[in-house]
Chain A
Amino acid sequence: MGTGSILDPLWISFKLAAATTVVLLAAGAFLAYLLVYRKVPARPVVESLISLPIVLPPTVLGFYLLILMGPKGAFGRAWEGLFGSSLLFTFTGIVIASVFHSLPFAVQPLKASFARIDRRILENAHVLGLSPFKAFFRVVVPNSVAGFAAAAILVFLHTMGEFGVILMVGGSVPGKTKVASIAIFEAVESLRYRDAWILSLVLALASFSFLLVVNAWNKGEYDGLKG
């Protein structure tokens, strides 16, 4: 295996993480908004379902998604009817699976961030003539920058390290669904330790650098008592 192909899984992991982050910032913000500002029927059920991927073994979630997105699953059939191709073992398929798997990592920080916003300022925005949609972009989003940043970082890093769900839904198709964590597993299984070292090191360094930037950005917030 050449160096170029070693780094291919990293590139797929990066693309997957970026796509999942973009989708989840929008979907997570929508769900968090509903949970914080609207009456949601059967709220405990909805909140439990959103948080389920945190506690569920990835293989269990992956199995359900495999059934749902497969040719006999409702979602898989609908997709095939619309686009004429299967979702399984495709990049789009693993993006959808990742979105479900990382959903709580987007919703929880956004929900906490929205809940911290003083409701009066949102009411003031409505009183001043803004619809809930406009108030969301002009008041909620600018006052939740930290929440959006936290959600983006958590989702991105969580997706970069995804394994079980991706393996179940996407398999390990080189150049399509073989992400870094799967490539590392396969390298170790076939005793290609050099490849495993390279991929692991790049993944570890990238994750550490990401967190370092975040912690440096937050420096001073918890500097302890002074004086």
Chain B
Amino acid sequence: MALRAEIGKKLSHFTLDVSLACEGGKILSVVGPSGSGKTTILRIIAGLDAPDEGIITCGERVWVNSRAGTFLPTQKRRLAMVFQDFALFPHLSVFKNVCFAARDRSLAEELMKRFGIWHLKDTRPQSISGGERQRTAICQALASGPEVLLMDEPFSALDPITRRKLRIAVADMKGELDIPIIHVTHDIREALFLGDEIVPVVSGKVFHKWLLQFMLTTRGTGMCPDRTDREDQGDVELEIYDTRKEWKR
């Protein structure tokens, strides 16, 4: 199943105008500086915001078609979203959070064990660390059995070690899930690490897509690090960040 989105929306400083497509079992990373419209793209796909114009389809189902006046409410889209600030339910324990929309409790338990948070099952989200909360949010999203997974800067609030562990966990699970995963980040390293396809977005427009695609296809060849060594290569990191500066010109 593939997710396809053509989105147009007038924002306060620019007009968002992007086209995305992501196949099942793949991660599409939308990368760009803060305020470039990345989160708005996710919110529109989730149905939390409406586009001024556009079409969003998931497989055969039409979620949005502005010309036909179609707008499927968020709760009917069968998706899950990992929010940047976790958005866990403070009145529920970690286990109940994961079970909130779970199809079965055994899946919730299995996911929690896999992500190493089973021992926190009776704890409230406000009493656990940022990394544990983020793992809870990922488990909650996966336990709901979504047809599309959206991740909004999922690792930005984490320390480098936890961030690395969670990136690896997410990268490992994408093949098993076989659903489109749209991942938004301002960190090019993260996009290169996770993304099967990368869409750079600056001021609401897709910008120099070929550059990151080039980096993606040459990763591990010396021009760009591969998944095993990318985190430790400071020089490459600088080089990539220089590229990002170039976007802003």
Contacts and interface: CB of A to CB of B under 8 A. Distances in A.
A120 interface: yes
Contacts of B140: 128
A120 B83 contact: yes
A128 B80 CA distance: 6
Which of A124, A127, A129, A130 has most B Cβ within 10 Å? A127
Contact of B78 (A121, A129, A139): A129
Interface string A16-53: 00000000000000000000000000000000000000
A127 B89 contact: no
A124 B90 contact: no
B87 interface: yes
B46 A128 contact: no
A60 to B, nearest CB: 42
A129 B76 CA distance: 6
A121 B144 contact: no
Contact of A124 (B73, B78, B83, B91): B83
B48 interface: yes
Nearest to A119: B87
10 contacts: A120-B87, A121-B87, A123-B48, A124-B88, A126-B48, A127-B48, A127-B74, A127-B75, A127-B81, A128-B141
Interface in A115-135: 118, 120-121, 123-131
Ordered nearest first, which 7 A-B pairs have the shortest CB separation?
Answer: A128-B101, A120-B87, A124-B87, A126-B74, A142-B91, A127-B81, A129-B75
Interface of A: 118, 120-121, 123-131, 139, 142-143
A142 B76 CA distance: 23
Nearest to A139: B89
A130 B144 CA distance: 11
A123 B44 CA distance: 12
A114 B6 CA distance: 35
Contacts of B81: 124, 127
A129 B79 CA distance: 8
Contacts of B47: 126
Interface residues of B, number: 23
B100 interface: yes
Contacts of B88: 121, 124
Interface string B21-40: 00000000000000000000
A146 B140 CA distance: 27
B83 A126 contact: no
A131 B72 CA distance: 12
Contact of B100 (A118, A120, A128, A131): A128
B154 to A, nearest CB: 13
Interface string B89-127: 111000000001100000000000000000000000000
Interface in B50-95: 73-76, 78-81, 83, 85, 87-91
Which of A118, A120, A126, A129 has most B Cβ within 10 Å? A129
B68 to A, nearest CB: 23
Contact of B75 (A118, A121, A130, A143): A130
Nearest to A127: B81
Nearest to A132: B75
B91 A126 contact: no
A127 B80 contact: yes
A136 B73 CA distance: 16
Contacts of B80: 127-128
Contacts of A127: 46, 48, 74-75, 79-81
Contacts of A125: 89, 100
Contacts of B91: 142-143
Nearest to B89: A121
A124 B140 CA distance: 10
B103 to A, nearest CB: 11
A143 B90 contact: yes
Contacts of B89: 121, 124-125, 139, 143
A131 B87 contact: no
Nearest to B86: A120
Contact of A128 (B48, B85, B90, B144): B144
Contacts of A128: 75, 80, 100-101, 140-141, 144
A118 B91 CA distance: 12
Given A126-B48, A129-B75, 14 more contacts: A121-B88, A121-B90, A123-B46, A123-B74, A123-B87, A124-B81, A127-B48, A127-B74, A127-B75, A128-B101, A128-B144, A130-B75, A142-B91, A143-B91
